[in-house]
């Protein structure tokens, strides 16, 4: 079974790596539509809460998988999660830390 995923993340923590490692240990073939460090988008359009390039990646995903990290309370990650919900994408939060983002808990 193949699953298309998008992982909202910041490169200053290990959430992306931890979630990717979890997928590597599953029976599923995972196609990752997240923005890789090796090929970041050249420019982000600040006029949008979520850049259209990232919106496109989220639309390709079958599911959005985020961490429960409180750092998701602000910034781009939470906006990407809200966008995913607004277009009907299922969102799954993975427990990475003992504390959970208040917004992730509410969503």
Q: What is the pLDDT along the chain (107 residues), one digit of tens a residue?
A: 789 999 987 777 788 888 989 988 988 899 999 876 665 566 666 666 778 888 999 999 999 998 887 666 666 788 889 999 999 999 998 888 888 878 778 87
**Residue-level pLDDT at 88:** 97
User: For the whole model, what pTM was predicted?
Assistant: 0.83
Number of structural domains (the chain) is 1
Query: Checking DSSP bridges between strand 91-94 and strand 29-32, what pairing results, if any?
Result: unpaired
State the CATH number of the domain containing residue 36: 3.40.50
Kindly report the number of other CB atoms within 10 A of residue 25's CB atom: 7
**Domain range for 80:** 2-106
Distance of CA 12 to the CA centre of its chain: 14
């Amino acid at each position: 079974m193949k699953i298309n995923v998008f992982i909202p993340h910041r490169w200053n923590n290990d959430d992306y790596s931890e979630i990717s490692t979890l997928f590597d240990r599953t029976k599923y073939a995972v196609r990752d539509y997240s923005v890789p460090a090796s090929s970041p988008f050249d420019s982000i359009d600040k006029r949008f809460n979520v850049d259209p390039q990232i919106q496109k990646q989220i639309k390709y995903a079958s599911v959005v998988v985020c961490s429960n990290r409180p750092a998701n309370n602000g910034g781009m990650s939470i906006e990407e999660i809200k966008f995913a919900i607004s277009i009907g994408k299922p969102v799954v939060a993975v427990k990475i830390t003992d504390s959970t983002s208040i917004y992730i808990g509410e969503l």
